[in-house]
Chains A and B, each alone.
Chain A
Amino acid sequence: MAVSLREYRARIKSTQSMKKITRAMELIAASRIIKAQQRAQAAAPYARELTRAVSAVATYSDVDHVLTTEPENPQRAAVLVITSDRGLAGAYSSSVLKEAERLVGRLTEEGKEVDLYLSGRKAEAYYRFRGRPVAHSWTGFSDSPTYDAAAEMGATLIEAFLNGAGGAEATDSEIAGVDEVHVVFTRFISMLTQEPHATRLLPLEVVEGVEQPEDSDLLPLYEFEPSAEEVLDALLPQYVVSRIYFCLLQAAASELAARQKAMKSATDNAEELIKKYTRIANQARQAGITQEISEIVGGVNALADANAGSD
């Protein structure tokens, strides 16, 4: 009896320390979410102004740009999968990967070859383990993405898109060309809901009504300097990068929310376990005491019987 009591006490202790860890992670995630949301808010004005500028150019000039033209007969697609660097965030990474697999399946069915671009160690580990070739991967910033990271990803993806699948052999670049670029990331809907989401990044569907300016301030007739083409040339890549940055920020907020939720349920679970083990331990302790008492009583009775016999 005493042995199992000690065992239960040890189990309670280890659960308690585990609870402390998960509680700490929960609190860290919670405080970082606020920072992630602030960052998303801080990035919003840039995205808004950029969208305004792009729609201004798109509305008042019918310039065709490479980044907006649909290649005929697309053969190759790039998929950018945004996951986390670390685990312990519940189903966060695996649901993004599931969504990515679905998208890859669909693209393959349409007869396109798929190049994988990954962000986050979890995605890297997933595809490396399965021996699937990966075109490029970025890691190390999943819970606090910087604009520079987005710019780097944007530059690589735009280069891939500009290379184009058709003229792949003509370019000396090491980045294989693609005809379209998709992004799979997790949309942050609320603290409780985040959903994996796949969207096409390139070719751009200009002005997807991301944030329409209000009717009251209709876009004025702009002058473009040096020319509409050149302005568009400079605007669109930045627009793409800002979209990627938006995805990264959303993913970061989702990751932290998912981690907070997972750690909260882990903490609750640990509490439950501690309660259960404490009960069992108390029971065991009580059983030990009861046994001792009954042994003593039994011993006393036996002595009394013996004494009565001898009298």
Chain B
Amino acid sequence: MAVSVGTGLQVEMVAADRVVWSGEASMVIARTVEGDLGILQGHAPLLSLLTDAAVEVTTPEGVVHAAVDGGFVSVSDDRVSILTERALLAEEIKIDEVHAELESAEHLPTGDEREMRLRRAEARMRAYEASRG
């Protein structure tokens, strides 16, 4: 599907303690619990749960990559808000820390905690790598 590079969407990515990114975009791709979700202009109002994953926002200036720790995405009237307790833009991700986190998470006993930390570290890794191209 051809994506018109316009600015049809108002996107706000909000973490608990700050606005991580906000601006105009043509497309948002996020991963919900049901699977990947692409949002274009004119999307139906939606409120959906996100998993720990990378989020992509296509803007006229380029693609913004970020990693979120769960949260929600809500769409209404071409306003997209991504709400999450913690979010990091790709350029804020320190890859050494992510590697260290992956390492330490792998040594944890199997369980939800280990799964979650692995998932979050992987999401960060993916966002970081995607931004490198």
Q: A53-B47, A151-B85 are in contact. Are A46 and B14 (CB under 8 A)?
A: yes
Bound CA span A264–B14, Å = 37
Count B interface residues, CB 8 Å. Answer: 25
Q: Which residues of B contact A217 (CB under 8 A)?
A: 77
The residues of B with any CB-CB pair to A shorter than 8 Å are 12, 14-19, 32-34, 44-49, 70, 72, 74, 76-77, 81, 83, 85-86
Please name all residues of chain B whose beta carbon is closer than 8 Å to the beta carbon of A224 when the two chains form the complex: 46-48
Are A234 and B49 in contact (CB-based, < 8 A)?
yes
**Contact A231 to B48, CB < 8 A, known contacts A242-B16, A245-B16:** yes
Contact A49 B83 (CB under 8 A): yes
The contact string, 1 if C-beta is below 8 Å from chain B, for chain A 26-65, is 0000000000000100110110011011001100000000
| A:199-242 near B, CB below 8 Å | 217, 219-226, 230-231, 234-235, 238, 241-242
B19, B44, B70, B83: the one contacting A53 at CB < 8 Å is: B83
Q: Which residue of A lies closest to B46 (CB)?
A: A223
Q: Are B74 and A223 in contact (CB under 8 A)?
A: no
Closest to A225 in B: B48
B46 touches A222 (CB 8 A): yes
Can you list 30 contacts pairing A with B, beta carbon distance less than 8 Å?
A: A39-B17, A42-B19, A43-B16, A43-B17, A45-B14, A46-B14, A46-B16, A46-B83, A49-B12, A50-B83, A53-B47, A53-B74, A53-B83, A57-B47, A146-B17, A147-B17, A147-B86, A151-B85, A217-B77, A222-B46, A223-B47, A224-B47, A225-B33, A225-B34, A225-B47, A226-B33, A226-B48, A231-B47, A241-B85, A242-B16
Given A52-B74, A53-B72, A217-B77, A147 contacting B16 (CB threshold 8 A): yes
A49–B14 CB distance below 8 A:
yes
Closest A residue to B18 by beta carbon equals A42
Name which residue of chain A comes closest to B33, CB basis.
A226
Q: Which residues of A contact B49 (CB under 8 A)?
A: 225-226, 230-231, 234
Please classify the interface of chain A as helix (H, G, I), strand (E, B), loop, or mixed, using the class held by over half of its residues: helix
Taking A46-B83, A49-B74, A238-B85 as contacts, is the C-beta distance between A225 and B32 under 8 angstroms? yes
- Chain A, Cβ-Cβ closest to B72: A53
Question: What 1/0 mask marks residues of chain A from 272 to 309 whose CB sits below 8 Å from any chain B CB?
Answer: 00000000000000000000000000000000000000
Q: Is the Cβ of B48 less than 8 Å from the Cβ of A49?
A: no
With A and B bound together, what is the CA distance between A53 and B16 in angstroms?
14
Contacting pair A231 B17 (CB below 8 A): no
CB distance from B29 to the nearest CB of A (A): 15
Q: Which residues of B contact A225 (CB under 8 A)?
A: 32-34, 46-49
Asked if A56 meets B74 with Cβ closer than 8 Å, knowing A42-B17, A45-B19, A226-B49, the reply is yes
